[in-house]
Structure 1
Amino acid sequence: MSGTLLKEELLQLDNKRRSIMRDIEEAMTFLNSTPVGLRGSLVDSEGFPRDDCDLYAVRRARHTVNCGHNDLKSIEATIHEKLSQLHEECRGEAEEQMQRDKMKKKSEDDQRRRDEQKQVMSSKEPFVRVVDVATGSPAEEGGLICGHLIVQYGDVDAEKVLEGGFGEMARVTSSYEGQMLRVWVRSPSDDDCGGARELFIVPQRWRGEGLLGCTFEPMKLN
Structure 2
Amino acid sequence: MGIPMDNNIHAPTVASGPTSGGPPPCDLSNLGVVDLVQEKERIEEELSALSSVLSSHNVHMNTTLTTFDGFPRDDIDVAQIRTTRARIIRLRNDHKDVMTHLEKGIHTHFANLQRAQAAAPSGGNAGDTRGLQASASGNNGLDTGATGRPFAKVNSVVPGSPADQAGLRAGDTVRSFGSANWLNHVRLAKVAEIVQQSEGRTVAVKVSRKDPNSTSNFELSLELVPRRDWGGRGLLGCHLVPL
Say yes or no: TM over 0.5: no
TM-score, length of structure 2 as denominator length? 0.41
Greater RCO structure (CA 8 Å; 6+ sep): 1
